[in-house]
Structure 1
């Protein structure tokens, strides 16, 4: 559960920590990667494990992990700490689109099911993963109902006046309620 310090740059630390391996019928590989800022890398991983019995089918598990990175500029080192979903990482901004790709075993860890619920709640509260279309209705932080004119950049109309609206000013929980009422 500690941090591994690696001499070199950030990319070297990532390659070193997320190296694919195979040992007989057991293996580990990274299927997808997504950076969240400069020092956090989300990864969708797949592990295959098999019993000693060659006739037994191997168990394939897909799960999400996060590689946390930290630099020590004075020594030229990068610290890397890999946290699996079963440990319940503190950050909950993992890509929502990856959840359907997980195997059921991914939810069996002590903290995993709770963490996946936090990931869904995070995306619901922040409106990430929502596809906005022309004509969609939104509720702003100031409880004003507006209509989408363009999705990118988000442009809305209210009282025949168009505004560019940063997504952070959308009240996503109230918008979801509005959509459910329609």
Structure 2
């Protein structure tokens, strides 16, 4: 027996369509961000280039995993330069509250997704409490703290100049 929810009927009745690709030219914003990020993906500098940090995290995430990054400069780099194949792979909360990224990561882990949370150093008390809770329930969540010895954020103004400032985190 096939069960179809009434809201799915409309979707099922729409004829499939294909979209013709008119151009393979990348949008100017994509190219501008790539010009800043790509040299950093392979950089061996210490502290690491932000794009290298993004790529290192990308390589460490298992299939089906999620990366949650606290809002701010770290979140800006991840939101703009994290290469995704699947929607929902990278999450940067639109509000800046202590522990928000860690809480989202823990919820994702409870729902069966491996979660990597990136937070700035030093870790706030709420994030630390969420990390302890994750350890106690053996949830697949990893929380990393990054500070000035881990990531060089001096290139951030270049990224903001081409991609624009994020206003959501200022509230």
TM-score higher than 0.5? no
Higher strand fraction (1 or 2): 1
Q: Larger C-alpha radius of gyration, 1 or 2? A: 1
Q: Give the TM-score category using the shorter length.
A: under 0.3
With structure 2 as the length reference, what TM-score do the two structures score?
0.24
With structure 1 as the length reference, what TM-score do the two structures score?
0.23
